[in-house]
Chain A
Amino acid sequence: MNIDPRSHVPIYLQIAAGIREAVAAGIYRPGETLPSLRAMALDAQVNPNTVQKAYDALAREGLIYARRGKGLFVADQGTASAQTRAHETVRRAFDQGVRTGRAAGMQADEVRDIFEASLGNSAETGKHA
């Protein structure tokens, strides 16, 4: 798990997002256990209290659930819920981009070109990665 301590996004939210992505990508599947607090804290090199906050947040949104003495599990609808959330995140990021463009006086076509170029770029980097 890679976290960025320079970011303005609190570390526990970065960890929660990382786990959400991993669930959406099928790295952790419904019914499977998540790494323990200790394992996650040592892997991400952060305080276990911070990992606990991330797990609490994911449990509140229903992505994971705790079974007493057995650890944390990915919920049955976990994969779908994480994918819906990822979809929402991307949509909001594009909304923000469109607003920025409009504020700078751009027309829809110009914004669309930027979007297409951005898609092209990521396809390129995808190939070379």
Chain B
Amino acid sequence: MTTTTDTKPAIELLGLTKRFGRTTAVDDLSLRVAPGSTFGLIGPNGAGKTTTIKMLMGVLTPTLGLARALGIDAEVEPLTLKQRVGYVPEAHHMDRWMRVREVVAFCRSLYVSWNEDTCREMLDRFELDESKKVKQLSKGMLVKLSLVLAVSHEPELLVLDEPMAGLDPLAREEFLDGVLRTICERGQTVLFSTHSLDDVQRLADTVGILHGGRLLVHRNIEELLATTKRLRATLTNGRVPDRLPDNLIWQRVEGREWLVTVGEFTEETAQRLRAEEGVGHVEVIDLGLEDLFKDFIRGQRAVS
């Protein structure tokens, strides 16, 4: 999509940390997102996804570290950031008594680069009735309106905080279509958080798994699927060998069955395991994104 040779990241987090009293919501988070790519952020409830996004957007102030979107620190240049980034927040802050037409007019007046054609086209495609009041809109309509307002100023970066949560399948598909169209037409960078691994598979180039405010992994999805495997081994005497495989993510022993999920898997990983004393048959199991995600999270819960 992008032919840019610019290697400056579209998003850069460096040691980003947020504490609320004694609770650490985001813990020393560092990552870079390449321009033109789509990054999906997943994690259980309370993992710190929304807090991270709010710091990036300047809604919350980091306790430590920094967050830059398009090289802009929201702390330093909040207005420049707003002009160049589109944001669909978790909760929509539109006045409930305003009509759609008035909300659109208000947003149009805020942005230098507002593209009225884009706005019209999207309102039409989403069949948004501009005479309706915000409070009359369904959840799906509200999210779609929020997307129209977030992309009509043609931002270089689009940030979506759990946009598809609670949408019916049809509304979800229409929203996804809207996001894909803007990616096709403008090739902008996208960051989105979600609980839906299907959405990650469809939208994202790279995925980050957040747990307890820490980033467990951030990688290209194909690489992650290719290198994360679950091994099912028979333990001939029911005991796990002393030497565990490298890059262990999660393991479970039940009777003679040993399930062990590892990262950076190669054929050698399986061979080494087969050579261990007390290990019989070893089968390599491919994982879908959902099982992979669960193993990462279960592995964390087991150690904490």
Contacts and interface: CB of A to CB of B under 8 A. Distances in A.
A6 B292 CA distance: 11
A46 interface: yes
B1 interface: yes
B37 to A, nearest CB: 7
Contacts of A41: 180, 183-184
B37 A45 contact: no
B202 A45 contact: yes
Interface in A45-93: 45-50, 52-53
Contact of A47 (B180, B286, B289): B180
In terms of DSSP, what is the predominant structure of the interface of chain A?
helix
A7 interface: yes
Nearest to A38: B184
Interface string A6-46: 11101110000000000000000000000001100110011
B176 interface: yes
Contact of B184 (A5, A11, A37): A37
Nearest to A5: B201
Contact of A48 (B177, B184, B222, B287): B184
Interface string B33-64: 00011100000000000000000000000000
B180 A48 contact: yes
A45 B176 contact: yes
Interface residues of B, number: 28
A45 B198 CA distance: 11
Contact of B181 (A6, A11, A37, A42): A42
B44 to A, nearest CB: 19
A42 B183 CA distance: 10
Given A6-B198, A12-B222, A42-B177, A47 B205 contact: yes
B286 A8 contact: yes
Nearest to B202: A46
B78 interface: no
Given A42-B181, A48-B184, A10 B221 contact: yes
A37 B183 CA distance: 11
Chain A CB count within 10 A is highest, among B176, B177, B201, for B201
B280 to A, nearest CB: 12
Given A7-B288, A8-B286, A49 B184 contact: no
B197 interface: yes
B1 A49 contact: yes
A49 B198 contact: no
Interface of B: 1, 36-38, 173, 176-177, 180-181, 183-185, 197-198, 201-205, 221-222, 225-226, 286-290
Given A42-B177, A47-B38, A49-B1, 20 more contacts: A5-B197, A5-B202, A5-B289, A8-B225, A8-B287, A8-B288, A38-B185, A42-B181, A42-B184, A45-B176, A45-B177, A46-B202, A47-B180, A47-B203, A47-B204, A48-B1, A48-B180, A48-B184, A49-B183, A49-B205
19 contacts: A5-B198, A5-B202, A6-B288, A8-B225, A10-B221, A10-B225, A10-B226, A11-B221, A38-B184, A38-B185, A41-B180, A42-B181, A45-B173, A45-B176, A47-B38, A48-B183, A49-B1, A49-B38, A52-B1
Interface of A: 5-8, 10-12, 37-38, 41-42, 45-50, 52-53
The 4 A-B pairs of least Cβ separation, nearest first, read A5-B201, A8-B286, A10-B222, A5-B198
